[in-house]
Chain A
Amino acid sequence: MTRAKLRGDELIAERHLSAEPERVWAAFIQPASIAAFWGGSHATVPAESVTVDLRPGGEFALDTRAPDGATRRLRFVYVSIAAPHELVFDEPVTGLRTTVTISPADDGTNLTVHQRRLPRELRTDQAADGLTSILDALDAHLRHQATPEQGAP
């Protein structure tokens, strides 16, 4: 990954796939394919529940069905679409922004998923830096605590 990481963004996943970029791209924008993989191994996505309005500001949405039958509707809004190499979408409910990057590689495709790891309230650089320093301080604090004080789990 040669592109500089944006501050406040987190590399969530990287994968080499033995399929050409166009097919990987298609998998992300075709309802039947989205239904096939979006739920992972934990949920199923009924094919008829997937709607795709492929344009900036357009929505894609789907139902995930958990093994116990509980169904949740997930909604995402496309931010930018650069076929076949970059797809950016937001989840309005959480304020999460996901960037999927698809690039040609030896005998296939490299795929990366970045997420803006901070919800809306922490979107400014200042807020992101503030949280980072808190988490750094927390790390230091935990390292100095040889034994947890009373009440700590």
Chain B
Amino acid sequence: MPSSLVAPGPDLDSMFAALGDPVRRALVARLTRSDATVGELAQPFGLTPQAISHHVGVLRRCGLIEQRREGTRRPCRLRVDQLSLLGTWIDDQRRAWDDRLDALEQHLTEDGAAR
């Protein structure tokens, strides 16, 4: 378990901030189905490619998606490993509290014995 008992850390902070926007959450949800270019993403969202590009940039900078070149196409791909960190973080919280409650139990036992 990381020593950060409760802090998500800078990577997760930027990921959470990026996912605070409904359009970006929808883009991520769309990319869980398949990779797509900015143009392909723009159509169903009814947004300009420029607006989509901006959101894609935010998601790329926080590590949630990556873009590769395929000739003239630049498909966006969801980084599943990064998204999985969200789940991992919750598990870390659970481990930290389990550990803390073990210590609480021990403390109460010793404290009770000392009375």
Chain B, interface size category, equals 35 or more
Asked if A146 CB lies within 8 Å of chain B CBs, one says no
Asked if B11 CB lies within 8 Å of chain A CBs, one says no
Residue numbers of A with Cβ under 8 A of B are 10, 12-13, 15, 17-19, 23-24, 27, 33, 36-43, 64, 66, 70, 72, 74, 91, 93-94, 96, 111, 113, 115, 117-122, 126-127, 130-131, 133-135, 137-138, 140-142, 152-153
B65-104: which residues lie under 8 A (CB-CB) from chain A?
A: 80-81, 83-84, 86-87, 90, 93-94, 96-104
The closest CB in chain B to the CB of A141 belongs to: B32
Within 8 Å CB of A70, what residues of B?
3
Within 8 Å CB of B93, what residues of A?
10, 12, 115, 117
Given contacts A13-B101, A15-B104, A24-B108, 11 further A-B contacts (CB under 8 A): A17-B105, A24-B104, A38-B103, A41-B102, A43-B3, A94-B6, A111-B101, A121-B19, A130-B19, A134-B19, A137-B33
- How far, in Å, is B16 (CB) from chain A's closest CB? 4
Pick from B33, B80, B103: contact of A39, CB under 8 Å = B103
* B28 near A17: Cβ-Cβ < 8 Å: no
- How far, in Å, is A75 (CB) from chain B's closest CB? 11
Pick from A24, A36, A37, A138: contact of B80, CB under 8 Å = A138
- How far, in Å, is B9 (CB) from chain A's closest CB? 9
Within 8 Å CB of A119, what residues of B?
8, 12-13, 16
Within 8 Å CB of B54, what residues of A?
none
Pick from A27, A96, A117, A140: contact of B107, CB under 8 Å = A27
The closest CB in chain B to the CB of A40 belongs to: B99
Within 8 Å CB of B84, what residues of A?
138
- How far, in Å, is A90 (CB) from chain B's closest CB? 11
Cα distance, A13 to B92, chains bound together (Å): 12
Pick from A36, A43, A135: contact of B5, CB under 8 Å = A43
Within 8 Å CB of B22, what residues of A?
126-127, 130
Within 8 Å CB of A64, what residues of B?
3, 5
Within 8 Å CB of B112, what residues of A?
19, 23
* B103 near A41: Cβ-Cβ < 8 Å: yes
* A127 near B20: Cβ-Cβ < 8 Å: yes
- How far, in Å, is B55 (CB) from chain A's closest CB? 14
